[in-house]
Amino acid sequence: MAQASLPFIEVLYEDNHVIVVVKPINVPTQEDDSHDPDLLTMIKQDLKHRHGKPGNVYLGLVHRLDRPVGGVMVFAKTSKAASRLSDAVRTHSIRKIYTAVVNGRPKQPQGTLKHHLLKDAKTNMVSVVPAGKAGAKEAVLDYTVTDHAEGLSRVRVELHTGRPHQIRVQFAAIGCPLVGDQRYGAHLTKPGQQIALWSTELSFEHPTTKETLSFTSKPPKAYPWFLWNEQS
């Protein structure tokens, strides 16, 4: 294992097959219509520079985080690793834990949320729809409320499906939109406020050694995270 450093990007782990980083907030995971610097390209450029590789550098994207969301991500450095990690994502064998801060308090301190979600590609908005609607996909997550402060709740979330905007839409659907969510909680959000969602834990089987690797990252010391002394 070797640790490295990227400009503004923390590298948690790197070997010949994978690289695990902490995605900064407000950086696209991959190139989008904004053409702003994206994480995939930045890591490729760093690998090319750091390892003196000629030509194009391979880097496989196996999962995503929304642009405003930060936290732990894994990328594949070989096509074999990309294929095996993508299979792990499809079979839900990669464990993803998030921490979110939501407005209000869910009725139950812990539970499972199940909805059917439909994405509008034109508006990039996701809606909760009845089961059976054409194009809808089931979304499932488990949550535990860990703290309350100032009318907000800190929530630990484990995803069982990886639908677009899933955590944001599902908590908005139960009346507890995420703090700072400009898209699904705009009526409770100040302009420019940062969304309170962080990828805090990621566990997966290494694509070649089969060893289980686990990584963690704490949310930034900013509002609303600083309402709690200890981050989990």
Enzyme catalytic residues = 66
Predicted confidence band of residue 1 (pLDDT cuts 50, 70, 90): very low
Q: Render pLDDT for 132-171 as a digit per residue (tens, 0 to 9).
A: 899 999 999 999 999 999 999 999 999 998 899 999 999 9
Cα distances from 174 to residues 104, 107, 169, in angstroms, run: 10, 9, 9
pLDDT at residue 28 is higher than 80: yes
Secondary structure in 3-state letters for 66-123: CCCCEEEEEEECCHHHHHHHHHHHHCCCCEEEEEEEEECCCCCCEEEEEEEEEEECCC
Q: What is the pTM of this model?
A: 0.90
Structure tokens at 217: 């990252």
Cα distances from 199 to residues 60, 65, 174, 187, 191, in angstroms, run: 19, 8, 21, 25, 23
